Structure formats: C-alpha cells, structure tokens
Amino acid sequence: MLKHIFTNSAGILISRILGFLRDLLTASILGANIYSDIFIIAFKLPNLFRRIFAEGAFTQSFIPAYAKTRNKIQFSTIIFLQFLTFILVLSVVVTLLASLITKAIAVGFDDTTVDLAAPLVAICFYYLPLIFIVSFLAALLQYKHHFATSAFSTALLNISMITALIVSQNMEKIDIVYYLSWGVVFGGILQVLVHLIAIKKLNIKVFTSAISKSKKSIKNSKFYNQFYPAVFGSSSAHLAAFLDTWLASFLMTGSISYLYYANRVFQLPLALFAIATSIALFPTIAKAIKNNDEQKALKYLRKAFYILFSLLLVASIIGITFNTFIVELLFQRGEFTSTDTTNTTLILSMYLIGLIPFGIAKIFSLWIYAKERQLKAAKITAISLIWNIIFSLILIIPYEAAGLAFASTLSGFILLHLTLKEFGYNRFLKVIL
C-alpha cells in the first residue's frame, strides 16, 4: 500500500508543481481581473467533473461492480459506450446553450461578461468526454494495481496549458484565454493517449463486440444505483469550491480569482496526501470487504489514518504560518499585486483550517463506498452542502470571499462528523487507539 501511496503522491506532486507554475504564469500574465475570472468560470465546470470522475465517483462505483461481475469485458464495454454517448450529447448541448450555462454558473455576471465567457465555456467543456475516457481506463489500471500512469498523466494537462500561455503571452488578454481553453482540450487528448499506451502495454482487454449479456450484468451489479449517489457523495470539497465561485460572482471583480488561487494551494496537500492515499487504498479495502475480511480492511485504514493525519497536520501548520510567503512566492508578480496577495492570503488560511476534516473524511468514506452505501454517502454530502450554503449566506456579507472559504471549512467538519457517525464512532476509536 505504501508503494502505491508514494506512486500517487509523486505523480500528484509533479502535476501540482506544474499546476502552480501554470497558475503563476496565469496570475502574472492575466492578473486577477475580468479575464482571469471568465477563464476560471469556463474551466470550473469541466474541472469539477474531472475531479469527481478521476478522484471518486466513477472509480468507487466501477471497481466493486467490475470485481463482482463474471463478464468483465462485456460489462466494461457497455458502461463505456453508455457514458461516452451521454457525455458527447451533453457537450453538444452545452455548446448550443453556452450563454445560458454560463449565466447559470456565474449568476452575478452582467450580459457583457457572459458574452465574453460563453465561447470559452463551450470549448473547455469538451475536456469532459476526454477525462471520462481517462477515468475509465484509469479504473481498469487501478484494478490491476497500476497507478503510475494515472498519477502522472495530469501533468500533461498542465504542460499543455503552460505551453498555451507561453505562446500567447504577448497577445491581447481575450486571445490568451482562448489559447488557454484550447490548451485544456489538447491536454485531455494527451492524457487519453498515455492511458491507451499503458492499457496496451499491460495487455488489458477493454472492449468486445459481444455485449449481449452486459445489460443483464450491469443490472445485477446495480452499478448505476451506486454511481448516481457516488457522483454527489464523493465530491463535497469540490462542490463547496464550486459553490464559492458561484456566490463570488456577486462580489467585487477579482474575488473569483482570489478564491481560485487560494483553493489551488489548499488542494495541493489535500490531493498530495488524502486523495493519493484514498486512490491507493480503495481497491484493497473493496476487495477485503468483498471477501468478508473486515479486519484486514480496518488494519489498512488504521495505517492510512496515522500517516494521513500527521501529514495534514504538518501541512496545515506550515500553510497557515507561512501563508503570506506562499502566496507571494507563487503569485505576486506582473499583474498580480500586493493587494491581491493580501486578499488571497486571508482566504487561504480559512481554507486550510478545513484541511484535516476534509482529508480524514475522504479515507473513512472509502468504507462506506466499499460497503456499497453510495446513497448514504450522498446524503452525508447533501447535509454538509446544505450547511455550507447556510454558513455562506451568513458569512458572505460581513466577510465577503473569506467568509465563503470559512463556510466551506465549517461544512468540512460537519462532513467528517457525519462520515464517522456512519462508519461508527466505536469502530473509529478502535482503529485509532
């Protein structure tokens, strides 16, 4: 398990370093203004789906169902075709209704800003079918305990976007955000290619033309009954960040960018430690519970808890103590001013207070998913998000963007409480003591 955690962490670290370089260039070239805001809005929706698919819902539903089915190749083929068809149709709909979609995800934008952002939303959304293909292939690789390709492939997205920024840096700002948007799509194509290479190298058979038994197999596996709740249940932190962006569209120009940059720093230790651990841990937990060996599953959870808690605690202390230095180092140059740094720093601290609860909830939710209680996990997330909305509405007026970040953190503590309650506090105490 430690080897797999290290592999995921190393891949995520490289990807996030490149991601910070991308954000550094974006902040320097675009600053925190209307152009950075409209690109962040355009990238927000496909990026939300990327995180839900790649870091949770699909894998947590697919692997247990795939492990149990006897007709694995038929099962994987029909799941792939059904998902891809739906997502491609959805992408076309978003293209045709780009202005309405943009208005829905950034209600506070005026008509002029919506007109600027809508074409970018349409372009970036085509990253979604590409990232579904990546997530599907990654789930098959993870079932075979191959994690390296998926862990390192996100770096290709960042490399593509960095290249777009470098090529377009001397152009008009509106042209730069178009280059960035097409860089997102090209990065998705590169991710698909490296996963196909890994699948071929490991000789994993993915598709078959004989799918007559698949629909019955899928029905028996209850895959979709598990998947729909898992989409919601595995995405609390990401949905909270999405909600922050939506509400921030009502605040002063630049607020969306401040929240984005602060959340990017917050997401580094969350992804590097919590998400890397959960990706490596889930196949083992799922197989142990499938084989009725709960003690083995608890043993791995115990080990993961102590490793993760220690890492997140250190990351929280360092992040809050050196928040100004971190933001200055990463972003304060070019168009990103000292005022932007001050605003981003406060928001970062508010997010980092919630690092431990979000991270610990992530690994203990694996037990719920492995037990195929995705609906329960979705209810837990729904409750935490309702509280997030309540806290946000209370805090947005006096504290603006910082209040939104702290509302997200408070909802993280509620998420942790509800997750541990479902896991069982008595069982939790036995795990950690």
The 3-state secondary structure of the chain reads CHHHHHHHHHHHHHHHHHHHHHHHHHHHHHCCCHHHHHHHHHHHHHHHHHHHHHHCHHHHHHHHHHHHCCCHHHHHHHHHHHHHHHHHHHHHHHHHCHHHHHHHHCCCCCHHHHHHHHHHHHHHHCHHHHHHHHHHHHHHHHHCCCCHHHHHHHHHHHHHHHHHHHHHCCCCHHHHHHHHHHHHHHHHHHHHHHHHHHHHHCCCCCCCCCCCCHHHHHHHHCHHHHHHHHHHHCCHHHHHHHHHHHHHCCCCCCHHHHHHHHHHHHHHHHHHHHHHHHHHHHHHHHHHHHCCCHHHHHHHHHHHHHHHHHHHHHHHHHHHHCHHHHHHHHHCCCCCCHHHHHHHHHHHHHHHCCHHHHHHHHHHHHHHHHCCCHHHHHHHHHHHHHHHHHHHHHHHHHHHHHHHHHHHHHHHHHHHHHHHHHHCHHHHHHHHC
- Residue 54 predicted with pLDDT over 70: no
- Residue 214 predicted with pLDDT over 60: no
Beta-carbon contacts of 76 under 8 Å, excluding residues fewer than 6 positions away, are 66, 136, 140, 206, 207
Determine what percent of the chain is predicted with pLDDT higher than 70: 90
- Encode pLDDT of 149-200 as tens digits: 887 888 899 999 999 999 998 898 899 999 999 999 999 999 999 999 999 9
Mean pLDDT of the chain: 85
- Residue 338 predicted with pLDDT over 70: yes
pLDDT value of residue 57: 66
Determine what percent of the chain is predicted with pLDDT higher than 90: 39
pLDDT value of residue 420: 96
Size of the chain, expressed as the number of residues it contains: 433
Mean pLDDT of 40-60: 71
Supply the pTM of this predicted model: 0.70
- Encode pLDDT of 284-313 as tens digits: 888 788 788 888 889 999 999 999 999 999
- Residue 212 predicted with pLDDT over 80: no
- Residue 403 predicted with pLDDT over 90: yes
- Residue 6 predicted with pLDDT over 80: no
- For residues 345 and 232, the model is more confident at 345
CB 417 within 8 A of CB 425: no
CB 150 within 8 A of CB 15: no
- Encode pLDDT of 107-122 as tens digits: 778 888 888 999 999 9
pLDDT value of residue 145: 78
pLDDT value of residue 122: 92
